[in-house]
Amino acid sequence: MAREHEKALIVLSGGQDSTTCLYWAIDRFGKDSVSTLTFDYGQRHRVELECAARVAELAGVGNVCLPINTFEALGGDALTDGNIEVKDEVAENGLPNTFVPGRNLIFLTFAAAFAYRHGIDNLVTGVAQTDYSGYPDCREETITALQQALRVGMESRIVLHAPLMHLSKKETVELARDLGGLAAMAYTHTCYNGERPPCRHCPACRLRATGFEEAGIEDPLLSL
């Protein structure tokens, strides 16, 4: 049910999940009330930033890109350090070596600060715990705790929405289709190896492919 006069900010990575969230937010809040925020945090695949901008443009909403140079300084993560190879295996601590501790906490806190400045009360994130791949900052418990910290820490009424939290990849694909967001999938980026067209064999490509296959839908990205 659409709520009038409420604005929403979507943390848009340029990937499949956050793009689906963008269409979810447009459906719920109306296109004129929706804007997107992307973080340039030193990700090894710069194409993600371009994808985010193109998805927002296709959807007809604004996109602001904020820099974060701190993760690179923290160092040692496969997603931000070009010298570290992405591995399928998990590290000793049980987390994939693409894990940046607290990355989503940082993204959502900066997004909440941006939202605060712009009078936006709704923050939408594409995190999901169904396909939870070892990232504790993607779980519902984390989102709930962070929302509380943001509310008291900023004296705000911010509401964190994670509409994909309990959806499988198949259901996320179906949701994107139902909301008219399928065409935008051609502009999203998923491949951990940064390839366009995607490599189709990295864990991220395989997970994406499984979702489309199970939904019986052809991935627009693969027919580019």
Residues making contact with its own copies (CB under 8 A): 66-70, 73-74, 76, 95, 100-102, 104-106, 109-110, 112-114, 116-117, 136-137, 139, 141-142, 145-146, 148-150, 152-156
Distances in Å between the Cα of 134 and the Cα atoms of 91, 100, 158, 185 are 11, 11, 26, 25
CB of 9 vs its own copies, minimal distance in Å: 13
CB of 179 vs its own copies, minimal distance in Å: 28
CB of 209 vs its own copies, minimal distance in Å: 29
Q: Considering beta carbons, is residue 30 or 116 the nearer one to its own copies?
A: 116
85: left (phi over 0), alpha (psi -120 to 50) or beta: beta
Cis-peptide, bond into residue 197, ω within 30° of zero: yes
Distances in Å between the Cα of 99 and the Cα atoms of 8, 55, 93, 164, 224 are 27, 25, 11, 20, 30
Q: Considering beta carbons, is residue 95 or 217 the nearer one to its own copies?
A: 95
Q: Considering beta carbons, is residue 25 or 108 the nearer one to its own copies?
A: 108
CB of 113 vs its own copies, minimal distance in Å: 4
Q: Considering beta carbons, is residue 129 or 188 the nearer one to its own copies?
A: 129
CB of 2 vs its own copies, minimal distance in Å: 27
Q: Considering beta carbons, is residue 33 or 104 the nearer one to its own copies?
A: 104
Length of the chain: 224
- Separation CA 1–CA 113 (nearest Å): 26
Contact 160, 143 (CB under 8 A): yes
**Rg of the chain in Å (alpha carbons):** 17
